[in-house]
Chain A
Amino acid sequence: MHTQNTVDLSPKSLDFRGRIYIMMGSAAICFLLVISGYWSLQVRQKERYEKLGEQYRIKTKPITSSRGFIYDRNGSLIAQNRPTYNLAVLRDEMEDPWSELRPQLALFLGETEALLDERFAKAKDQPISQPVILQENISFKESLRARRNLRRFPGLHIDTTERRFYVNGHLFTHVLGHLGESTKQELKRNPKLKLGEMVGKTGVERAYDGALTGVDGVWEIHIDNKGIYRKKEVKTPPQPGKNLYLTLDLELQQLAYDSLAGRSGSVVMMEIKTGEILVYLSSPSFDLNLFTERFSTRRWNELNNSSKNPFLNRPVKGVYAPGSVFKLVTALAALKYNKITPMTRYFCNGSLTMNDYTARCHAAAGHGSVDLEQAIRHSCNVFFYNVALDLDIDQLASVATELGFGNKSGVDLIGESKGLVPTRDWKRARYNKMWYPGETLSVVIGQGALLVTPVQLVVFMATVADDGRIPTPHFMSKYGKNANYDYFDHQPRRIDGIPEEYYDILKSGMWQVVNHARGTGTAAAVKDYDVCGKTGTAQLINFDSDSDTKDKAFLNAFFAGFAPRYKPEVAIMVLVEQAGAGGQEAAPIAGRLFTNYRQRFHKLEEP
């Protein structure tokens, strides 16, 4: 009984040895378990843990790429970049909470706490690695002072970035446009953008933003467990944006700018065959660098509230009654629909009375009996009033539309206005009223509801000069220095149904406007360069028909033309707002520009 329950404790006993073997087996199983755990981690999941490790060790930061430079057609630099210093805080490197850092910084920077707080709060939605800019565009000296004190305020950071700099900021204001921080809407359109990144807002900067913007590179920053930088290397180098060569000509632009001398208006000069724009001026302008520097609220309000509206991009967004320049369109329409022939003559006694309404010619005494060429030369209203009696408004509108009025010219700027060519349908839709024949009288001389943009006018000039071929105006072509880029390659569009003779009659008339002793635009004449053109003096209000004294302030002066008469090279459109007669105010400017163009660009005919 005793032996029955006694355990044999001798090491030689089978039970005892068996239990040791069981323990050996269990130990082996435990080892197997642990080793297989290591196998799983090190062999099967290696890549996963490598990635995880990088997340801790390696942080990436963008290397901002520089924006492409912009040159004029001769390679003169007109837009470049300059270094700029912004004082910022890095929220992920701050050691004290903002509430403690704020008063120290306010003291150091000499700003109010409320202002700093406001700027800090603005970055709330941005990722935490994005620096919060407290002071923008500080001077180099200020940046040095901040740099010396960086250690006193952990998280303080000097953000060295590039700022756009426009060499002739006031010259190319509207065509270049400006940059601004991207908005949420723009982010939706272009998902590659980052919030707050500088993007083109207007002009060429916007239209060619994609080409000008480079691709940001990536910094790879190796950090240790305390977040201290150990190594910093470029993972992907940034690709700078492309440099663009515009078709603009700095010298001509400067000449146009000087000629307008700050008066409101617009000058557009374009090569006829190619559609390359040489001059694109909207006046008054302002220094574009105001947008990249600290734009004071006072200065902004001053510009924004100015009655001269300097922010308006006149050549493509300004819409005007073109005045007498439009008579050329009327002439083409009347010829096309056989309402007149080149021989048709009307007698001008100074006015035409229709029903109870008397429409007057600008020469009170009248021009006598005039044919079409003479009517163009003198800009005789009565001749065209008589045409209006036969010509239907819809016929006129169809020709005007075909010539590009009422449509976008296709210029490579965003936000171009279409202008307005009134028709019966338009009036019914707009005012729910029928068209009165009296209204046609206004439209044929370029008044009334008609609205055109300066660019449409210069394209029209090129169309007349080139016998019905409509070029597409542009600032960028795929030819020349932009050859590598696939930008602009539009063939001119040809207008049907208007024979070349009709253009010749117009050209003859336009040649006389400038070169005939009694023409209205003689101020545009250039020696040895057959300038053709048409003046226009558009009324901004309806003058009392009996009033003789017409205030200059209510007259827009136009001159549109081209040169030379044969083998035409360049078309122009000059508008001086609220200045008076086109022949006196606009034509001399055109003359000056033509002179310069002839000297520098005109190809002398081979003997």
Chain B
Amino acid sequence: MRRFKFIDKSHMIVVLLLGIIGIVLIRSTSLGTATSSIYWKKQCFWIVAGTVIYLVMSAYDYKKLISKANIFYIIGLVSLVAVLYTRPINGATSWFRLPFMSIQPSEVVKIATILMVVRFYKKADERRTSLRDFLLSAVLIGMPVALIAKQSDLGTAFLYLPFFVIPNFLIGNKESIYVTVGGLVVVVLLVLGLVHKPDWFFFVKPYQRARIVSYIYPDKDTANRGWQVHQSKISIGQGGLLGQGLGKGKQTKMGFLPAQQTDFILAVAGEELGFVGMSTIFGLFIFLFWRSFQIALESRDMGGSMLVVLVIGTLLVQLLFNAGMMIGLVPTTGIPCPLISYGGSSMMTTMALLGLIQSVHNDRYVNT
């Protein structure tokens, strides 16, 4: 385990800092309310367990993992199929319920998928890349995405999207870039057109349009779907520059804000810590991503670089989407905030992914 010596300490410290901020915020939601205080204690355990995984991953040679990626990938797919036959929780069949915890395979399969993508493109190393490669990789990524979408967990499925784009972009697969960008533009135009020029889409039924509009503009539908975002915007807006103080959030304490410990933890941060607190949290994440990008740049192995950028991609999208949906920038989907939101599966997965980055970093010093 001589790899420990080379560990990037600043990377690890920031990861732990964010985890501790998460604990403090989860603790705060249980102050003066009926919310159980069990959450913050459990989260402490997840952080400790996550740190262990982080360290194990950083000490492990990621290349060995990549070489076994197909095994992980297949196990992952099987688990994703298996989870569909469990009893639904809140309308989603995303959980294996074990006596001491619930496991969300869609989170863990992220790791396997990343490794599989890197493995696939490592082979593409030797030959010309083409649209065919892109389509093949799309099938690779598309399978877990489709299975997760089938669980009605669109949020998590969404986090797989960077895997389509990033590798092709990194290796300069021009055709795939055209297809991706072109496809995105068409989707955006279609949605905007549907919302703003409904006359042009006479074939779309009104209720279908209404559903899409409420998905895109939750603020217009505060009674149902929009309620959560409406309340989280109020909470964050009330925070002001300096916040109401830990444990003193008005909107959160009165229980108007839903899912406070999990998906909407940043709204608690926004109300209680204000813009200054939010900037601090964003600052820590920016540092984390900046350090990770450095590691990607410094890696001498293309697979390592790609692995790091893929991890950055999925975590970045997760963070920005979570933060964006708090303030209504993006539609509400069930995405937790990495490292801060309560949740074992998410914490373990995130820690493992960040551990992989650390492993790539250590690799530079080991294989000289």
List the interface of chain A (C-beta within 8 A of B). Answer: 5-7, 9-12, 15-17, 19-20, 23-24, 27-28, 30-31, 33-35, 37-39, 41-43, 45-46, 48-50, 52-53, 56-57, 222-226, 230
User: Within residues 234 to 262 of chain B, which ones have a CB less than 8 A from any CB in chain A?
Assistant: 234-241, 250-251, 254-256
Distance A31 CA – B322 CA, assembled complex (angstroms): 12
Beta-carbon nearest neighbor of B128 in chain A: A5
Contact assessment for A11 and B300 in the assembled complex, using a CB-CB cutoff below 8 Å:
yes
Contact assessment for B305 and A11 in the assembled complex, using a CB-CB cutoff below 8 Å:
yes
Distance A10 CA – B300 CA, assembled complex (angstroms): 8
Contact assessment for B237 and A30 in the assembled complex, using a CB-CB cutoff below 8 Å:
no
Please give, as numbers and ranges, the residues of chain B lying within 8 Å of A23 by CB-CB distance: 166, 169, 293, 309, 312-313
Cross-interface CB contact of B282 among A9, A34, A48, A52, cutoff 8 Å: A34
Given known A7-B129, A11-B299, contact A34–B238 (CB-CB < 8 A): no
Contact assessment for A42 and B241 in the assembled complex, using a CB-CB cutoff below 8 Å:
yes
Contact assessment for A56 and B286 in the assembled complex, using a CB-CB cutoff below 8 Å:
no
Given known A43-B240, A53-B235, A53-B251, contact A38–B278 (CB-CB < 8 A): yes
Contact assessment for B329 and A37 in the assembled complex, using a CB-CB cutoff below 8 Å:
yes
Tell me if B170 counts as interface (CB < 8 A to partner A): yes
Please give, as numbers and ranges, the residues of chain B lying within 8 Å of A17 by CB-CB distance: 297
* New contact pairs (8) apart from A9-B302, A11-B300, CB-CB < 8 Å: A11-B305, A19-B170, A31-B286, A31-B320, A41-B236, A56-B256, A57-B250, A225-B255
Please give, as numbers and ranges, the residues of chain B lying within 8 Å of A31 by CB-CB distance: 282, 285-286, 320
Which of B237, B251, B301: most chain A CB closer than 10 A?
A: B237
Chain A to chain B contacts (Cβ below 8 Å), 21 pairs:
A7-B173, A10-B302, A16-B302, A27-B293, A27-B312, A31-B282, A34-B323, A35-B278, A37-B327, A38-B275, A38-B323, A39-B275, A41-B270, A42-B240, A42-B274, A42-B278, A46-B238, A223-B254, A224-B256, A225-B256, A226-B255
Whole-angstrom distance between the Cβ of B190 and the nearest chain A Cβ: 23
Beta-carbon nearest neighbor of A35 in chain B: B282
Distance A38 CA – B241 CA, assembled complex (angstroms): 10
Given known A16-B170, A37-B329, A57-B250, contact A42–B239 (CB-CB < 8 A): yes
Contact assessment for A49 and B254 in the assembled complex, using a CB-CB cutoff below 8 Å:
no
Please give, as numbers and ranges, the residues of chain A lying within 8 Å of B323 by CB-CB distance: 34, 38
Contact assessment for B279 and A35 in the assembled complex, using a CB-CB cutoff below 8 Å:
yes
Chain B, interface size category, equals 35 or more
Tell me if B27 counts as interface (CB < 8 A to partner A): no
Distance A53 CA – B231 CA, assembled complex (angstroms): 8
Interface of A is mostly: helix
Contact assessment for A57 and B305 in the assembled complex, using a CB-CB cutoff below 8 Å:
no
Contact assessment for A34 and B329 in the assembled complex, using a CB-CB cutoff below 8 Å:
yes
Tell me if B264 counts as interface (CB < 8 A to partner A): no
Contact assessment for B172 and A15 in the assembled complex, using a CB-CB cutoff below 8 Å:
yes
Tell me if B44 counts as interface (CB < 8 A to partner A): no
Contact assessment for B305 and A50 in the assembled complex, using a CB-CB cutoff below 8 Å:
no
Given known A23-B309, A50-B237, contact A222–B316 (CB-CB < 8 A): no
Beta-carbon nearest neighbor of B286 in chain A: A31
Tell me if B289 counts as interface (CB < 8 A to partner A): yes
Tell me if B119 counts as interface (CB < 8 A to partner A): no
Contact assessment for A56 and B234 in the assembled complex, using a CB-CB cutoff below 8 Å:
yes
Tell me if B171 counts as interface (CB < 8 A to partner A): yes
Contact assessment for A20 and B254 in the assembled complex, using a CB-CB cutoff below 8 Å:
no
Report B298-331 CB contacts with A as 1/0, cut-off 8 Å. Answer: 0111101100010011001000100110010100
Please give, as numbers and ranges, the residues of chain B lying within 8 Å of A49 by CB-CB distance: 233-234, 236-238
Beta-carbon nearest neighbor of B274 in chain A: A42
Beta-carbon nearest neighbor of A2 in chain B: B128
Contact assessment for B254 and A57 in the assembled complex, using a CB-CB cutoff below 8 Å:
yes
Distance A171 CA – B242 CA, assembled complex (angstroms): 67
Report B275-291 CB contacts with A as 1/0, cut-off 8 Å. Answer: 10011001001100110
Beta-carbon nearest neighbor of A24 in chain B: B293
Whole-angstrom distance between the Cβ of B319 and the nearest chain A Cβ: 9
Whole-angstrom distance between the Cβ of A57 and the nearest chain B Cβ: 5
Contact assessment for B329 and A52 in the assembled complex, using a CB-CB cutoff below 8 Å:
no
Please give, as numbers and ranges, the residues of chain A lying within 8 Å of B297 by CB-CB distance: 11, 17, 20
Contact assessment for A27 and B237 in the assembled complex, using a CB-CB cutoff below 8 Å:
no
Please give, as numbers and ranges, the residues of chain A lying within 8 Å of B285 by CB-CB distance: 31
Beta-carbon nearest neighbor of A226 in chain B: B255
Please give, as numbers and ranges, the residues of chain A lying within 8 Å of B173 by CB-CB distance: 7
Contact assessment for B316 and A41 in the assembled complex, using a CB-CB cutoff below 8 Å:
no
Given known A7-B129, A24-B293, A53-B251, contact A42–B237 (CB-CB < 8 A): yes
Whole-angstrom distance between the Cβ of B364 and the nearest chain A Cβ: 11
Distance A224 CA – B250 CA, assembled complex (angstroms): 10
Please give, as numbers and ranges, the residues of chain A lying within 8 Å of B302 by CB-CB distance: 9-11, 16
Contact assessment for B250 and A53 in the assembled complex, using a CB-CB cutoff below 8 Å:
yes
Distance A48 CA – B282 CA, assembled complex (angstroms): 24
Given known A33-B329, A225-B254, contact A46–B324 (CB-CB < 8 A): no
Contact assessment for A46 and B240 in the assembled complex, using a CB-CB cutoff below 8 Å:
yes
Contact assessment for B275 and A43 in the assembled complex, using a CB-CB cutoff below 8 Å:
yes
Please give, as numbers and ranges, the residues of chain A lying within 8 Å of B313 by CB-CB distance: 23
Cross-interface CB contact of B320 among A6, A30, A39, A53, cutoff 8 Å: A30
Contact assessment for B256 and A42 in the assembled complex, using a CB-CB cutoff below 8 Å:
no
Whole-angstrom distance between the Cβ of A480 and the nearest chain B Cβ: 52
Given known A20-B170, A31-B320, contact A12–B300 (CB-CB < 8 A): yes
Please give, as numbers and ranges, the residues of chain A lying within 8 Å of B327 by CB-CB distance: 34, 37-38, 41
